[in-house]
Chain A
């Protein structure tokens, strides 16, 4: 207020003291003089002192202009040659490049004043939530109309936009399935303005078709290889027996499966054990139920998924291939609610509601009828019993601008045969974690995680000759992550992680001895630093490194290593964006995986033994995004991945003294294409990949089992309206590798060393094979159809879903039994259904 009064006073004083000239000025020439300022004139001024030029224009147009001489630099001269220009425009042209501006006082009176110095910018922070339950809306779009700038919310529903000139702006927030909201926000200089945006969900009948995760006006985001998925989208796709988060990832280009049987996925030529699955930033080591057929993550607890298929940023470590970050819901903050659902495999329920100032969400799922699994496993009974449960308790604002989330999860599988003549198996995951997310008065947030993650697996042989096995991994970790956003829009990320892992993998060798092949305990201390240059509108650069002070297997100083990462984005225009990323990635917790096993009960996890160096991967990725229209977009990406010290099961181990694991190498390269077309009420997605993968171990180079050359996925989704929704999914990949049979020979199964004088009743065929994985199985393709209906029934929402799997009953080969020649196919035509009740 004081400043404004003072300014006004000085302005008036200047007006009174101003000198008005009326004579002709040297250096000026004029034609077509008119008397009104609304009229236009022609001016021709050459190298004239600026004061003279202003007076000349004033005279010519018959107006009064007041100014103080000391506004201008001494002896500054101007030239102007314009036709048909208003006096105001002419003066503004003269003043261009000076520190002065023209202020109209009345019809013919003007004053030229010194420009106010620009005020320091302010920042805007927003929290976007669902108005009905307070759930954070991740990847929602925030857009400032006046500045054509925007941002998308992070997984906690937060967005921050810095470097905003002070003033009032219209901020629009949009999110799929919600009514967009427009709010006037006043951004104050040198302040961080926080606004809560509560979006109202659309009714069942009207659904918007905006793609979740699409960023607005962030053309320099360095996020190559990142896919964002909302669980709402996955629930609309054909679901097989039930919605499975990992199977949904398999429809993205670059992500492969080896068929209908397993929900394990393979990213860009890497085995599935090189994918790190994070549940609220906590690693979950074996997130599969039922021999890997289904994921153990109940979609009911998931809010959104961030999936990096390569070149991921420094915040993530511990995996060679991909990161899948599953962010859970917080629970309803305003009212209590529950859901119950039955599918042909499980029954599940969830309960949520307010808890003090916060909320909770409890989910549970249990298998009740496993007969449908027969279709998955060649008519074999799978006497398995499994469950999973989760509990999340969310405390918002427990600290000023800080919230805390406590999360617990457990899953258990028990495969118990009815007879002691067969082995039993059990495995489980247990997770407990605390997440503290703190916003500050500056554009910065800090996230602290403290968690415990455990996996236990056991093979109990009973009276069978299956060898016993015990596996456990206990991971206790604390990490601190900080992000600061500068006024220049640049971002600084700093982090620290302290991880203590204990692992045990006891195997019985052929002499009956039990040996723990794992490094028993390891400590990893690492830091990361990353600086994102986002100050330029068309260029984004992210440079950083992880600094591992110790190696997990040794836990000693001097065994550490760096993991540099680089991400960049060049925006050629609003429609064309080029992205590049490169980096070094390390994995020290591995599995004992036998690549010759198409299905296995569980893969044991352990710390890479110290006799092997840690496995490293180098990623190089180049991508191009092209936006034809708001509704039609495509991505094109090429990648190259080299794996060094690829920890691999030693296929040539024949004695106790041979190592269980050997270090191999791997390489993968390919291209991926993705097209999204989303005119309401249709959504169409096409993903294609052309890829190569190769592995070398024990001196033998071969194509791994998951190496298919071509892969194509197409989905059509149609919002019919009135609660009806239909989707069709076609999935194709070219044949997976297999090894040819060259001959059979007799194998003597010596059951009893006491009766070795008679061989004839103990012979069985042994298959002699050709070059490993040198040939290809027939192509795989499958068409699935899903129709769902949502009905509001009193106080309940009812959801019905029918899925038709393998609609045209394609006989996709799973494998062939090598000693009988019998062909075993994957899923036949299979109708499934589920019902969900929501209160």
Chain B
């Protein structure tokens, strides 16, 4: 019996010594690759394309990696089937990154069709490409969306459309205002949230998500709260409120999925080893998409005057 136990003991010690090695290599062979991002804003003339190459910091700390990994000298173009739009290199020093970067831009972008194809040829390497349909639903705001908004705490401001069918959009209601300081005027906007939550003397705002819906409502109470918040944001400066802008933002697929996936936070406790990779770029990663913003202005009615006076905001 003693010999049996001795054998077991020897095996255990051998196993223990063997298992003392606590090192491992988390790295496999480096894979060269490229990532392209471009979101075409259909209402703008200037469009940009960004191309990055894969990287591997020596200390594996990617979060602290500051070296430039953008690609220059690529041949980038977007075609709408009728015209080719050539994108040219632009090099710029970015303070946040502490390095120069290269991106591509076209300052006269105006497509005639919704079918867009991008190609980015990286000399001696790969050609990245993607195709999207950039069409969006044309909407007409109802009178309720365009009306003068009155200061009635039991009422709402509604984004409504003549076609009441459901479609995917992100509503954004902005307060347009001017900031006047020493004779200089700056035009700014403040987004109105869906609601505020007050907790421990602090104000937390919740903004709407990209979702399928037929309209959207903002309560007057929340608009009032946004104005109160605005009044405290620029101490010592003069604020002049101009009006409200209701924006309806639509995006192409799969930018909608990419946006929603990136925006969804994980809880602070779940430890996930791998995040989903959503891409529509052939021969690489990234996203090529488009967005379209349609908007309407609404005015503040005279009934707001008392509040503006209280907040010392010009009207």
Contact = CB atoms under 8 A, between A and B. Distances in A.
Contacts of B215: none
A134 B74 CA distance: 84
A740 B27 CA distance: 5
B269 A463 contact: no
Contacts of A766: 275, 277, 285
Given A601-B269, A744-B55, A760-B96, A738 B19 contact: no
Interface stretch (A124-132, A420-428, A663-671): A420-428
B270 A744 contact: no
Contacts of B249: 753-754
A719 to B, nearest CB: 19
Contact of A813 (B22, B96, B206, B291): B22
A145 to B, nearest CB: 28
Nearest to B274: A596
B30 A742 contact: yes
Contacts of B232: none
A730 interface: yes
Interface stretch (A317-325, A437-445, A481-489, A505-513): A505-513
Interface string B190-210: 010000010100001110011
A819 B209 CA distance: 28
B211 A512 contact: yes
B265 A743 contact: no
A654 B25 CA distance: 32
Contacts of B270: 597, 599-601
Interface string B16-59: 10110111111111111101010101001010101010111101
Contacts of B313: none
A740 B210 CA distance: 35
Contacts of A820: 60-64
B197 A510 contact: no
B62 A712 contact: no
A759 B35 contact: no
B265 A465 contact: yes
B27 A769 contact: no
Contacts of A712: 12, 15
A654 B257 contact: yes
Contacts of A813: 22, 24
Interface residues of A, number: 84
Nearest to A816: B26
Contacts of A753: 170, 210, 249, 251, 259, 291
B35 A746 contact: yes
A810 B21 CA distance: 11
B26 A466 contact: no
B26 A738 contact: yes
Contact of A768 (B33, B191, B199, B257): B33
A467 B19 CA distance: 42
Contacts of A511: 168, 210-212, 256, 260
B273 A382 contact: no
B269 A380 contact: yes
A749 interface: yes
A510 B28 contact: no
Contacts of A654: 254, 257, 276, 278
Nearest to A825: B22
Contacts of A743: 30-33, 54-56
A253 to B, nearest CB: 15
Contact of B54 (A744, A754, A816): A744
Contacts of B27: 740-742
Given A419-B199, A748-B37, 19 more contacts: A417-B268, A420-B199, A465-B209, A511-B212, A512-B211, A596-B273, A596-B274, A601-B270, A732-B16, A738-B26, A744-B65, A748-B50, A754-B191, A756-B291, A760-B96, A778-B23, A779-B19, A819-B63, A821-B59
In the A-B complex, the 4 residue pairs with the closest CB atoms = A512-B211, A821-B60, A510-B260, A765-B62
19 contacts: A423-B267, A512-B212, A596-B272, A598-B273, A743-B32, A746-B52, A748-B37, A750-B258, A750-B263, A753-B170, A753-B210, A753-B259, A754-B293, A757-B46, A759-B48, A760-B97, A766-B275, A775-B25, A820-B64
Interface of A: 291, 377, 380, 382, 415, 417, 419-423, 425, 459, 462-467, 510-513, 594, 596-601, 632, 651, 654-655, 686, 712, 714, 730, 732, 734-735, 738-751, 753-754, 756-757, 759-761, 764-770, 775-779, 781, 810-811, 813, 815-816, 818-821
